[in-house]
Structure 1
Amino acid sequence: MAGARGAARRARSPAHGEIAVAEFHKKIRDAFEVFDHESNNTVDVREIGTIIRSLGCCPSEGELHDLIAEVEEEEPTGYIRLEKFLPVMTEILLERKYRPIPEDSLLRAFEVLDPAKRGFLTKEELIKYMTEEGEPFSQEEMEEMLSAAIDPESNSIHYKDYIAMMVVDEN
């Protein structure tokens, strides 16, 4: 019901919706331009995930793959054009899709993996969970997470510290 009320409210105040769209367009263009090295309104397809994440969205690898397929040319060129990316990304931001998982949910997830409530997971445990369960991390994703998460002295992840570092501030 809240969604219907919100839609009705937006329908009554088109100026607010237009302002939000204009703000999203600027954010998307700014993020896109960082990777538009030739200044020709195209970016390497491999940069799209980074651009999307810089806009506060956290799609899974499968969702990212689908999204790229949606904005890619009929004959893939290895590049994504701003004119195809902009409307799709605007819609994602308007719908608040791919929002980051809340901090308390992340903490509960780590606690499930740490039944002894030690407050940490060893590097070996983390690798096992991230590569053998659910949607497995790729080698590159695993290396990136380990470099950010693992304390080199203890060779473990103190997950409360890691979550605090990872959480996106919504404001």
Structure 2
Amino acid sequence: MKQHIEQLFKKYIVNNKNTDENLFYVNDLSKTSLIEADLESANFNRFNLREANLSKAFLYKADFGYANLKKATFKEAQMWFVDLGQANLEEANLEEANLKNAYLWKANLSLANLQKAYLKNANLVQANLWRADLRYADLRGTNLQGTILKAVRIDRAKYNHQTIFPKDFDPINSGMMLQKNEVTI
């Protein structure tokens, strides 16, 4: 049954992006496997995707605002311009995910794995990164203003002069690497 729902969901999202008609209504996709799915501009706003697997999925401009993504896997997912505002990503795996220009305002990323994540120019204002793992992440141009960075693992992460940190955070003492000379293409 679950596999049948996944197939219908993929067909609906991929083939009916520009319609308001609902072939079916599903907002609980917990433990669903959508590995390598092409879900460009998909609307998962307020969905329950707890423990879902979206590894290597194409999620360009997808909306996950307010979604429950606890323990979800987005390993190596392409998530440029994705909306994760106020989403619960507690213990989520975003290792090597491309989150360039992602919107993560007030997102809960506590205990999340963001190792080697590409977060260039992302908005993480007021996000909760308590005990998150950001080792080797790319935070160049990222806005971390008001973000909770207590007990975060952030050594070897990249930043530049455009990166905005909370007032009480020292990137040098945290083991981050300043990228001074960048070539803009």
Q: TM-score range by the shorter chain?
A: under 0.3
Q: Who wins on radius of gyration, i.e. which is larger?
A: 1
TM-score for both structures, normalised by structure 1: 0.23
More helix by proportion, 1 or 2? Answer: 1
More strand by proportion, 1 or 2? Answer: 1
